[in-house]
Amino acid sequence: MLSTTMISNYQAQSLANVRQAATLTFNVMHQLNGLSIRTLQAGTGVSLRRAFVPVEGDFDYSAVDEMRGLFHESLHLTSAWLIDLVKVAESQWAISHRCAHAAVRHLHRWSPRELETAVSALDLALDAAEYATENLADAGVLVVKRLEDEGELFCAAQATEGAQAHAGAAH
């Protein structure tokens, strides 16, 4: 069947993928923690009512703008992390597919001639699964990018509304 060296290589590559996914996750959690602290510091002394509901007269938009920027930064960090995780998952899927195809090749070599059609069908099923996982990964990346784009549009729209309100309050 599969050689011990080949199996060992697949396992080493899989462990490297797990390590990379864990490292990516811990790094983004650390960065999001820092953003949370910065958000708390930005909001210190500013009530939610004062920050988000315009008050007649003097209104400080700096806290709102800073929080909006921190939200945008956290959205960007999270989406970059998800895209990196999809890349790691793709790498792991590739390892699994290589291993499965190698097993089917060995099965094809050692199986009786009567099973050739069944083994060929299994090989085609593996190809279809590989194609499906590639499409799933591509769709995941597109969804994450779309969420980030929507978040940027939201932040831009809120900034425009805040500027218009600020200009209206100044008059």
- Each residue's pLDDT tens digit, 82-120: 888 888 888 888 888 888 888 888 888 888 888 888 888
Which is more confident, 130 or 67? 130
* Residue 64 or residue 84, greater confidence: 84
Tell me how far apart the alpha carbons of residues 73 and 92 are, in angstroms, rounded to a whole number: 29
pTM above 0.85, yes or no: no
Cβ–Cβ under 8 Å, residues 72 and 38: no
Residue carrying the six token digits 């400080």:
60
What is the rounded average pLDDT of the residues 124-131?
Answer: 88
- Residue 103's contacts (CB-CB under 8 Å, 6 or more residues apart) are 1, 2
Q: What pLDDT is recorded for position 134?
A: 85
The angle at the Cα of 38, spanning 36 to 44, to the nearest 5 degrees, equals: 105
pLDDT at 26: 92
Asked if the model's pLDDT at residue 61 lies above 70, the reply is no
Query: Which pLDDT score is estimated for 138?
Result: 86
Q: Is 71 helix (H, G, I), strand (E, B) or coil?
A: helix
Confirm if 46 and 63 have CB atoms less than 8 A apart: yes
Going 42 to 46 to 51 to 57, the CA torsion angle's sign is negative
Residue 159 pLDDT grade (very low, low, confident, very high; cuts 50, 70, 90): low
Q: Compare 161 and 83 and report the one with higher pLDDT.
A: 83
